[in-house]
Structure 1
Amino acid sequence: MHTLILSISFSVAVSIFLKLARGGGIRVDQAIAVNYATAVALSLWLLRPPLDTLFERPPAAWLILGLLGILLPSVFLVMAAAVRQAGIVRSDTAQRLSLILPILAAFLVFHEAVSGRKALGIALALCALACLLARPRHTGTGSPSGTSPSASAVATSAADDEARGSAARGWLTLLGVWAGYGCIDILFKQMARMGAGFTGSLLLSFTLAGLLIGLWLLARRTRWHARSLASGILLGGLNFGNIYFYIRAHQTFPDNPTLVFAAMNIGVISIGTLVGAGLFRERLSAVNLLGIGLALGAIVLLFPR
């Protein structure tokens, strides 16, 4: 269980970093590039994968590594676009709802047995997710002061086409976030099944992801920012811990991927909600607190006896 707790803790730390980065003048894309270079260095130093057999892998393993190498940096960038187009709340919701995809994969791909206890745990997890993501609605105040209803209607009509286009782009980015994070969870489970060879696979996926985002930044003729590059070292350490212990958790519970998928997603958002209230003074509603209770109940039900 400690592997899950460590993975959740590192993941929450990554979220805190990204939240602080937005207001700290850090260019996240550059930090992400250094993050993968740091993860490569930590893989070599701490995991010591066998380099002499690093490239001796079956075609299926290379397919998983290739997909991870593309998705890991791409989803970061899609998430940033989703935040711009659709807002932080919707983007975070799309990321958390990606839990549905790996849970389906647990039964359809990994052939996990379904029991009444497990089905109830999944139902509680989804209810907890809905409660944790609930936010108060804000109502509008009508036309701005000093603007006639007819002028407001004309302005609204003129902006309709642009608004529809922006909304369509926003939904596409949200779909990308939802599918991207869900697929990454499934691919990490597949990597965990590689056994002892996963350390080399982890190194290769970090290397490929770093190369792709580095080339993307060079193609954009990025002007490098010292603070962003330096902060990427911290992000890399946190992200390495998150992914490493997440894969270890799958290896600890090889026959119960639903527990890992659900506990990770629900655990991150539950602790993130509490951290948001404690550090960033975000308000918690009774529904949010109910969600935390349901999340704990779901994990208890999913945990093997």
Structure 2
Amino acid sequence: MHTLILSISFSVAVSVFLKLARRCDVRIEQAILVNYVTACLLCLWLLRPPLATLFDQSATVWIILGLLGVLLPTVFLVMAAAVRQAGIVLSDTAQRLSLVIPILAAFLVFHESLSGRKALGIVLALGALACLLKRTPTGTAAAPSLGERAANNAAGSPRARWAWLSLLGVWVGYGTIDILFKQMARTGARFTSSLLLSFMLAALLMILWLAARRTAWHARSLASGILLGALNFSNIYFYIRAHQTYPQNPTLVFAAMNIGVISIGTLVGAGVFRERLSRANLAGIALAIGAVVLLFPR
């Protein structure tokens, strides 16, 4: 059970890092670059992918890897924006609700059967997402001024619009990444090899993007990326270990991970960072947990 607890804790810790990044003068795009370099090194050390055949991949796998190389850092940046604009609670919940996207794809694109239980879970998940996106609060602890309240509450205000879009981006982005990893698994590619290659491509594309922007490198941001990479990879590593610990009960791992992140993220966001949640947001969190329960893999 400790592997599950550690995976949940590191997942929430990533969101806490993203929440504190701006306050600590961390330039998140540089931290994300070093995060992927760190993840590559940890993947080599702990997962030991077969290096002799690392680049012996089919054309289909390389296409998927290319998409992952673009999506992984892009969605990480979107997640950072969501945590900053909407808070840890709603961002973590939106990320976990992304599990409904590969289920929808399986039904709509790959023509798999859809049970009544899954259909109800999808309805609850979409309802939860609608509740999360409704009048997203700013997530700041300090009470806003009268002018700020008017700006934040105004229909279509830039801050509210960015919060809405970033949460939607988190949901679609992580769901798409999940689909790509599942498709890669169907091709027979080894998970450890595909994980390392996707990290390597993400790091390379981040370097090229930052170089094209003539980025002024920032020592604190680069150093903090090591911490971000350790947290991010530890979440993945202990999730894998949890599946290895409970090979006959993947449902337990799936459910505990998703419900655990939503629950602990809510406690940390609302309890530590005083993120304000509307009644609709609270209803969305409850619906999200219900959706996860219904969408347990059977």
Give the TM bin, normalised by the shorter chain. Answer: 0.7 to 0.9
> Take 1:264 and 1:134, find their aligned partners in 2: how far apart are those partners?
25
1:224 to 217, 221, 242: 217
* Alignment TM-score, normalising by the size of structure 2: 0.72
Name 2:266's counterpart in structure 1.
273
Name 2:102's counterpart in structure 1.
102
Q: Structure 2: 5+ residue runs without aligned partners?
A: 139-144, 149-155
Name 1:186's counterpart in structure 2.
179
Distance 1:198 1:143, change over 3 A: closer
The answer to whether residue 232 in structure 2 is matched with residue 239 in structure 1 is yes
CA RMSD of aligned residues (A): 4.4
CA deviation after TM superposition for structure 1 residue 5, in Å? 6.1
2:198 to 201, 205, 222: 205
Alpha carbons 1:30, 1:232 under 8 Å: kept = yes
Q: Please identify, of 267-276 and 163-172, the stretch whose mean Cα deviation from structure 2 is larger.
A: 163-172
Alpha carbons 1:36, 1:210 under 8 Å: kept = yes
Alpha carbons 1:131, 1:291 under 8 Å: kept = yes
Q: Deviations over 1:78-124 (max 9, x none)?
A: 5567889xx447x9497677555323113234555322222223333
Alpha carbons 2:13, 2:231 under 8 Å: kept = yes
User: Equivalent pairs: percent with the same residue?
Assistant: 73
Distance 1:195 1:214, change over 3 A: same
> Take 1:21 and 1:11, find their aligned partners in 2: how far apart are those partners?
16
Aligned residue runs from structure 1 range 1-305, under 5 A? 7-78=7-78, 87-88=85-86, 92=91, 98=98, 100-109=100-109, 112-132=112-132, 179-193=172-186, 197-244=190-237, 268-284=261-277, 287-304=280-297
> Take 1:244 and 1:194, find their aligned partners in 2: how far apart are those partners?
22
> Take 1:78 and 1:22, find their aligned partners in 2: how far apart are those partners?
14
CA deviation after TM superposition for structure 1 residue 293, in Å? 4.0
Q: Please identify, of 212-221 and 116-125, the stretch whose mean Cα deviation from structure 2 is larger.
A: 116-125
Alpha carbons 2:86, 2:167 under 8 Å: kept = no
CA deviation after TM superposition for structure 1 residue 218, in Å? 1.9
Q: Structure 1: 5+ residue runs without aligned partners?
A: 145-162
Distance 1:6 1:111, change over 3 A: farther
Distance 1:76 1:197, change over 3 A: same
> Take 1:244 and 1:32, find their aligned partners in 2: how far apart are those partners?
18
Alpha carbons 1:54, 1:200 under 8 Å: kept = yes
Alpha carbons 2:136, 2:164 under 8 Å: kept = no
Distance 1:29 1:304, change over 3 A: closer
CA deviation after TM superposition for structure 1 residue 35, in Å? 0.2
Letter in 2 for 1:236: G
CA deviation after TM superposition for structure 1 residue 204, in Å? 0.7
Structure index of larger Rg? 1
Distance 1:18 1:81, change over 3 A: closer
> Take 2:277 and 2:81, find their aligned partners in 1: how far apart are those partners?
27
Letter in 2 for 1:222: T
CA deviation after TM superposition for structure 1 residue 206, in Å? 0.4
Alpha carbons 1:188, 1:247 under 8 Å: kept = no
Alpha carbons 2:38, 2:230 under 8 Å: kept = yes
CA deviation after TM superposition for structure 1 residue 272, in Å? 1.7
Q: Deviations over 1:173-209 (max 9, x none)?
A: 7776554333212112223445671101111110111
Distance 1:288 1:270, change over 3 A: farther
Distance 1:213 1:30, change over 3 A: same
> Take 2:133 and 2:275, find their aligned partners in 1: how far apart are those partners?
13
Q: Deviations over 1:46-95 (max 9, x none)?
A: 011111111111111111111101111223345567889xx447x94976
